Amino acid sequence: AQSVSQHNHHVILSEAASLELGCNYSYGGTVNLFWYVQYPGQHLQLLLKYFSGDPLVKGIKGFEAEFIKSKFSFNLRKPSVQWSDTAEYFCAIGGSQGNLIFGKGTKLSVKP
C-alpha cells in the first residue's frame, strides 16, 4: 500500500535559517509527488509538484524539492525562511484512485 511519512512534527526556526523538511514515500511504481501548504486561517494550496523530468523542482515563494528515487524521498527546502513561511506543510503522493495520500504534516514556526 502507498504511504507517506513526514518525520518532523514541529520545526522551529529563526528567520533567515535554512529549511529542510523530510518526506519519504512507499510505492514501487511511477509516482506523482506534491507538497501542499496551509497558512494559518487559509485553505490548503499547492506549493510544488513532481511528475517527471528534472528531479529538482521549484515552487512558489522560493521553495524547492528534490526527488531522489533511490531513497524514496521528496524533501522540501528553502535557503532562507521568513516569518511568513509559518504554516503547516504536507507531503503527498498521487494514489491509484486519483486521490492524494498525505503525510501527517509538519508545522513550521518561524521566529522573527
Partner 1 sequence: SQTIHQWPATLVQPVGSPLSLECTVEGTSNPNLYWYRQAAGRGLQLLFYSVGIGQISSEVPQNLSASRPQDRQFILSSKKLLLSDSGFYLCAWSHIEGFGYEQYFGPGTRLTVT
Binding positions for partner 1, rule: CB under 8 A? 9, 31-32, 34, 36, 43-46, 49, 90, 93-105
Residue 70 or 97: the one with the smaller Cβ distance to partner 1 is: 97
Q: How far is the CB of 97 from partner 1 (least distance, A)?
A: 6
Return the number of the residue (49 or 77) whose C-beta is nearest partner 1.
49
As measured in angstroms, the least distance from the Cβ of 9 to partner 1 is 7
Q: Which is nearer to partner 1, 14 or 104 (CB)?
A: 104
Q: Which three cell numbers stand for residue 10?
A: 514541529
Sign, Cα dihedral of 74, 51, 87, 107: negative
Name the DSSP letter for residue 16.
T
Q: How far is the CB of 40 from partner 1 (least distance, A)?
A: 13
**Helix-strand-coil percent breakdown of the chain, rounded to 5?**
10, 50, 40
Task: For the CB of residue 80, give the shortest distance to partner 1 in the complex, in Å.
Answer: 26
Alpha helices in 1-112 (DSSP H): none
What sign for the dihedral angle of Cα 70, 64, 31, 21?
positive
